[in-house]
Amino acid sequence: MAAEKTQPDYGLDAPMLVKRMFTRAGWTIAIGVAVFLINRNENPGPSATLLGVFCAIGAIFLAIGGTMLWSSRVGKLQLRDKLLDSLGLKGEEKVLDLGCGLGLMTIGAAKRLKTGKATGVDQWSAEVLSGNSSDAAKLNAKLEGVGDRVRFETSDLRKLVYPEKSYDVAVSALAIHNIGDREGRDRAVREMWRVLKPGGRLMILDIFHVGEYASVLREAGAQDVTVASHGFLWCLPTKSVVAAKQ
């Protein structure tokens, strides 16, 4: 019987890619060692050089895998807190998190709310986030002590079921780039904008296409559209766009 979870788990992003990096590191180093052992007596110099080359390539795979692991387990959580703090929530807001996955932003927002509520929407793809499901997100919320302040619902980001002007704050982290075509991504950003109340604020964090999101928001009439860089996560430049609705 599986042990019951006692700690929240926000999952590993791109789990297959991380696994592939560690597998490649293992194979590259193993091949280097094998080549060295087979040839070391007849050609000690070249076989030692080859071992060095294989180990260096293996180390690059290890470093990428390790960075991806750190990004999912540590970097993403630190950035989540920095970005949510910067929104300065008062506590009574209705917050919508698009592509919430295991509830990272939804729960982070709920922890900053008193009478407000946070809703997370997703389609729960396990390909892009390990262990992804609404039940796992609900369990995380319970373990974080905010089960009564959150709601998780299934929805496509490109076609939200919510009426327009129904949320004070709309956030999305690392989700919209998963929509493969520009039209779909634009639609998701426009949907986010549509459900936002006048006076509301929107924040998107992503590793690709953040400039596109900013353009869509400006076209939709957003005020104070600000793009900011947050260094590298998953070995990729990570940016946010923040906008306000008048």
> Interface with ligand SAM by CB under 6 A: which residues?
10, 13, 76, 99-102, 104-105, 122-125, 128-129, 132, 156-158, 173-175, 178-179
Residue 162 CB, shortest distance to ligand SAM, in Å, is: 13
Q: How far is the CB of 158 from ligand SAM (least distance, A)?
A: 6
H or E segment to which residue 122 belongs: strand 117-122
Are the CB atoms for 75 and 99 separated by under 8 Å? no
CB of 184 to ligand SAM, least distance (A): 7
* Euclidean distance between CA atoms 61 and 23, whole angstroms: 9
Residues pairing with 95 in the sheet: 118, 169
Cβ nearer to ligand SAM, comparing 40 with 194:
194
Comparing CB distances to ligand SAM, the nearer of 105 and 195 is 105
* Residues of the chain by 3-state class (helix, strand, coil), percent to 5: 45, 25, 30
Give the Cα separation of 100 and 240 in Å (integer).
Answer: 16
- Closest to ligand SAM by CB, 113 vs 157, is 157
Q: How far is the CB of 42 from ligand SAM (least distance, A)?
A: 50
Pick 113 or 129: Cβ nearer ligand SAM? 129
CA distance 68 to 55: 20
Which residues make Cβ contacts (< 8 Å) with residue 56, sequence separation at least 6?
A: none
* Residues linked to residue 16 through DSSP beta bridges, in sequence order: none
As measured in angstroms, the least distance from the Cβ of 215 to ligand SAM is 20
103: left (phi over 0), alpha (psi -120 to 50) or beta: left
User: For ligand SAM, which is the closer residue by CB, 42 or 181?
Assistant: 181
Q: How far apart are CA 86 and CA 107, in angstroms?
A: 16
Q: Which is nearer to ligand SAM, 51 or 176 (CB)?
A: 176
- Closest distance between ligand SAM and the C-beta of residue 148, in Å? 21
d(CA 229, CA 238): 6
